[in-house]
Amino acid sequence: ATPTALLAGTSRGSQLGILIRSAQVLESTQTVDTVVLDKTGTVTTGELTLDRVLPLGDWAEYQVLQLAGAAEAPSEHPLARAITGAARAHGSLASVDDFESVAGGGVRATVTYHGQPVRTVVGQVSHLVNEGVEVSDAISQQVHSLQEEGLTTVLLAVEGHLAGLLCLQDSPKDDAVPALAELKKLGLTPVLLTGDAAPVARAVAARVGIDPEHVFAGVSPADKLDKVTQLQAGGHGVAMVGDGVNDAAALAKADLGVAMGSGTDVAMEAADMTIMRSDLASLPTAIRLSRATLNLIK
Ligand code: ADP
Ligand code: MG
């Protein structure tokens, strides 16, 4: 396309709330036939509600919430915001030190609780296991059946021992169903790629119209990158849409990286395009805009 046409396309994009990093990006959309979508905060609102807290051992529900809420306070992950928000609603948060987060896994932190420093870990089963916490088969099964209810479930460990489970509910964005139908009409295949567990991913996919064979769950940030690379090696042009730190590498690798404006700065820096409204309807709009821009000069 001519520089003028591309510039016109970019400025039309910004009017529509689609920020395009460089005009050349519009050309890379030409080859795209597959749209890989992150789940939390991309297909779903990322405004999770805490559905239930299940304490284990001698722990009480409010203690699990207070400890997990404090440990998650420094995290910008949507799950962390929900847990910390719920904990704050029940009282002020304990102070936290030595916070570290593992993208696509969870967090660890030292929380000062009743004047004592306690080591906490919050995250998915594999994260707790990596942190040296023992998770019994019975607990894994309980987590699995909660996930089959569509609940994103994370675990809390205190001083290396399990203290409770926290179950969160997320919903697809309002426009997810029509937007994905629109993408299919444009000849694109939507794929769901998430670090969350398979049962939760399948439940969301079913609600928004993504085929079960196009769902990849339990995927680490490095594996998200590999999945994009694999699709490209299979001859596909890949658009990747995401919002998290865990998506950044895949966004950079994709032929077209699209970040949600509500997401992390890291994701927006890695992407070619940012959707300011963080909606899904902007995806087919962006594809149409690119196609129209490129046809202009043919
Ligand atoms: P998605 O791909 O859906 O955006 P992530 O890759 O960010 O999800 O996270 C995958 C899983 O890792 C989450 O479902 C959760 O179990 C766990 N996890 C990630 N970050 C956190 C956190 N800050 N606190 C607790 N669990 C987390
Ligand atoms: Mg996400």
Whether residue 241 sits in one domain with residue 104: no
Q: Of the candidates 169, 197, 223, which is a domain's last residue? A: 169
pLDDT at 296: 58
Residue 201 identity: A
> Which of 17, 9, 11 lies closest to 274, judged by CA?
17
Whether residue 131 sits in one domain with residue 240: no
Q: How remote is the CA of residue 191 from the centroid of ligand 2, in Å?
A: 14
Which atom of ligand 1 has the smallest separation from the CA of 105?
Answer: 12
Whether residue 291 sits in one domain with residue 197: yes
Give the 3-state secondary structure percentages of the chain, helix then strand then coil, rounded to 5: 45, 25, 30
Whether residue 244 sits in one domain with residue 97: no
Average pLDDT, the chain: 94
Q: Of the candidates 105, 135, 169, which is a domain's last residue? A: 169
Which protein residues are within 6 Å of ligand 1, measured from CB?
38-40, 72, 75, 77, 79-80, 101, 104-107, 122-124, 152, 154, 194-196, 244, 246
Nearest CA to ligand 1 atom 9: 104
Q: At 161, which CATH number?
A: 3.40.1110.10
Residue 267 identity: A
Q: Which ligand is nearest to the CA of 267?
A: 2
Confidence of residue 15 (pLDDT cuts 50, 70, 90): very high
What percent of the chain shows pLDDT beyond 70?
99
Domain count, the chain: 2
Q: In terms of pLDDT, which residue wins out, 135 or 245?
A: 135
Which atom of ligand 1 has the smallest separation from the CA of 224?
Answer: 2
Span 132-184, pLDDT tens digits: 999 999 999 999 999 999 999 999 999 999 999 999 999 999 999 999 999 99
Whether residue 182 sits in one domain with residue 272: yes
Q: How is residue 207 written in tokens? A: 């609600």
Whether residue 155 sits in one domain with residue 82: yes
Whether residue 80 sits in one domain with residue 228: no
Q: How is residue 99 written in tokens? A: 């916070």
Give this prediction's pTM: 0.89
Q: Residue 251 and residue 216: Cα distance in Å, rounded?
A: 16
19, 285 Cβ separation under 8 angstroms: no
Q: How remote is the CA of residue 195 from the centroid of ligand 1, in Å?
A: 6
Enclosing H/E stretch for 253: helix 248-253
Whether residue 130 sits in one domain with residue 206: no
pLDDT at 64: 97
Nearest CA to ligand 1 atom 7: 104
Whether residue 213 sits in one domain with residue 123: no
**Active site amino acids:** 38
- CA distances for 46 relative to 65, 168, 268, angstroms: 19, 10, 17
The gap from C-alpha 277 to its chain's centroid, in whole angstroms, comes to 16
> Which of 196, 203, 236 lies closest to 218, judged by CA?
196
Whether residue 290 sits in one domain with residue 188: yes
Which atom of ligand 1 has the smallest separation from the CA of 42?
Answer: 4
Q: In terms of pLDDT, which residue wins out, 235 or 6?
A: 235
Whether residue 187 sits in one domain with residue 275: yes
Residue 240 identity: M
Q: How remote is the CA of residue 32 from the centroid of ligand 2, in Å?
A: 21
Q: Residue 176 and residue 233: Cα distance in Å, rounded?
A: 28
Enclosing H/E stretch for 10: helix 3-15
Span 27-71, pLDDT tens digits: 888 899 999 999 999 999 999 999 999 999 999 999 999 999 999
Q: Of the candidates 169, 187, 218, which is a domain's last residue? A: 169
Whether residue 164 sits in one domain with residue 176: no
216, 191 Cβ separation under 8 angstroms: yes
Which atom of ligand 1 has the smallest separation from the CA of 80?
Answer: 23
pLDDT at 253: 96
Q: How remote is the CA of residue 197 from the centroid of ligand 1, in Å?
A: 9
Domain residue limits at 105: 49-169
26, pLDDT greater than 90: no
18, 276 Cβ separation under 8 angstroms: yes
252, pLDDT greater than 90: yes
